[in-house]
Amino acid sequence: MGQETEKYVIRGGKRLEGEVVIAGAKNAALGILAAAVMTDDKVTIENVPNVSDTRTLLKAIENIGASVEFKDEHTVVICGKGVREGQPVDDEYIRKIRASYYLIGALLGKHKYANVALPGGCDIGARPIDLHIKGFEKLGATTQIVSGGSIIAQAKELKGAHIYLDTVSVGATINIMLAASLTPGKTTIENAAKEPHIVDVANFLNTMGASIRGAGTDVIRVRGVEKLHGAEYSIIPDQIEAGTFMAMTVATGGNVLVRNVIPKHLEAISSKLSEMGAHVIEYDDSVRVMADGKLKPTQLKTLPYPGFPTDMQAQIAAILGIADGTSVVTESIFENRFRYVSELARMGAKIRVEGNSAIITGVDKYTGANMTASDLRAGAALVIAALAADGISTIDSIKYIKRGYEEFDKKVSSLGGLMLHAEDERSVMKAKFELASKKIDDDDISTK
Ligand code: UD1
């Protein structure tokens, strides 16, 4: 049963109710797993989300000689002692994840040499890595792109430097932090990204003996140390998985306690959902989201943290599509992030894209349709829309969704949502039949 035939089959109309536990942050995990090979000691990392991106990176780390041992589904012990100097990082999977680039910073710092297959990831725009390269070169490395599409970064000596990032970049900030941790002297990263996962990676590096100050502000100062040592660390919760479940609750007029979150990281999302008419109550490490199905339109622009995250843009647009009025969603980070629009149109959404804005005219209801996920968050948006729709939908190319959501169908089902995973056409038919036989109460109808 190939990945290519897998689908989600969803019947909309059920209010989501209950509790959902959020996994560790995928984007923090990717930086932390790469950083773990920078020491020869054992490192134990807890709360690693079991999603395909983290599994792919772990395979790549293993392939270059590190030992990777799972204590349980979410806890991994890594030992980077066996990582071979000069070993290229390249395999059939690594090019598919963008975060393979963190191995450039990690290996350049550790061995002053990295040879890494150029990153792939979701096709949401040009996504260059010029800022990463500029940072490494400022630290004294030379870089070259070699045939077959790999990058080699190397140096005789690295030396701390002052680096100004022209654009706020999560990846470049983390990558430079990684290399600078083992670079003699002081490195300053100005106009650094401030996302919670930047702080998490910095905290992890500091637990391994690095000296990084200012993560979470736009000036990060790194004092290079000679060696990093073993550590135990637990990854922060995934703000985007949390936000996705919050949006899903609002879409279905539900009432859900979203557990294992840091409410502060969710502020931009919570306040947008509140503006739309939802109630969000914050507790110490959970948020309750309640909605009655009546949604107000709003304006939204994606921005680097603490602004509204681009990784939540599609999910919010999916619910604005059934709000009572016209909304405008502007994407300012990536240029290719409206690919879900044509899929939502199959469900009856009225969305017009003009430049980097989507003008969304709310419709009364979506109707079930067959759709394709074009990237990770676009896929999540289609799931949300399908859960709010009349009738049954299918979503294919769910390999993208699995990159970032752990047991998505099971978590949605535990909240009462009618969502099944189907491996092939036969199980799609079976799933449709099973979902059609479920009872949906009259008062279960979501939105308006
Ligand atoms: C990371 C996240 C991704 C999220 C994004 C923005 C990971 C693995 N992925 O992606 O989920 O959507 O942050 O929050 O953590 N840019 C350049 N040159 C560079 C690097 C980036 O011009 O060298 C530009 C990009 O094209 C984009 C902007 O900077 O317009 C921000 O990108 P960046 O923050 O680097 O995103 P990623 O690290 O790729």
Tell me whether residue 122 is one of the annotated catalytic residues: yes
- pLDDT of amino acid 124: 46
Distances (CA, A) of 338 to 130, 199, 324, 327: 24, 29, 21, 15
Alpha-carbon span 227 to 237, nearest angstrom = 28
Task: Report residue 278 as tokens.
Answer: 């939802």
Could you report the per-residue pLDDT of 105-124, keeping only the tens digit for each? Answer: 999 999 999 999 887 555 54
Cβ neighbors of 219 (< 8 A, separation 6 or more) are 188, 189, 190, 192
Alpha-carbon span 356 to 353, nearest angstrom = 7
Give the confidence band of 91 by pLDDT, cuts at 50, 70, 90: confident
Number of H helices, E strands in the chain: 14, 23
Q: Of all atoms in ligand 1, which is nearest to the CA of residue 125?
A: 26
Whether the per-residue pLDDT at 19 is higher than 60: the answer is yes
- pLDDT of amino acid 215: 98
Q: Is the CB of 126 under 6 A from ligand 1?
A: yes
Cβ neighbors of 114 (< 8 A, separation 6 or more) are 89, 103, 104, 105, 106, 107, 108, 151, 152, 153, 154
Q: Is the CB of 273 under 6 A from ligand 1?
A: no
Distances (CA, A) of 315 to 17, 50, 191, 312: 19, 21, 28, 5
Give the confidence band of 165 by pLDDT, cuts at 50, 70, 90: very high
The more confident residue out of 447 and 280 is: 280
Closest CA to 310 of 215, 170, 190, 175: 170
Whether the per-residue pLDDT at 313 is higher than 70: the answer is yes
Distances (CA, A) of 329 to 298, 310, 332, 355, 439: 8, 11, 10, 11, 35
User: How many angstroms does the Cα of residue 127 sit away from the middle of ligand 1?
Assistant: 7
Q: Of all atoms in ligand 1, which is nearest to the CA of residue 170?
A: 34
Average pLDDT over residues 125-148: 88
3-state secondary structure of 200: helix
Whether the full predicted model's pTM is greater than 0.75, yes or no, is yes
Average pLDDT over residues 293-305: 95
- pLDDT of amino acid 448: 40
Catalytic residue among 122, 124, 139, 174: 122
Task: Report residue 305 as tokens.
Answer: 């943290």
Task: Report residue 423 as tokens.
Answer: 């491996």
Computed over every residue of the chain, the mean pLDDT equals 94
Average pLDDT over residues 44-49: 98
Task: Report residue 84 as tokens.
Answer: 């071979």
Closest CA to 139 of 118, 116, 155: 155
Average pLDDT over residues 351-362: 97
Element (H, E) at 251: helix 239-251
Task: Report residue 446 as tokens.
Answer: 């979501």
Give the confidence band of 447 by pLDDT, cuts at 50, 70, 90: very low
Using a pLDDT cut of 90, give the percent of the chain over it: 87
**Measuring from atom 20 of ligand 1, which residue has the nearest CA?**
129
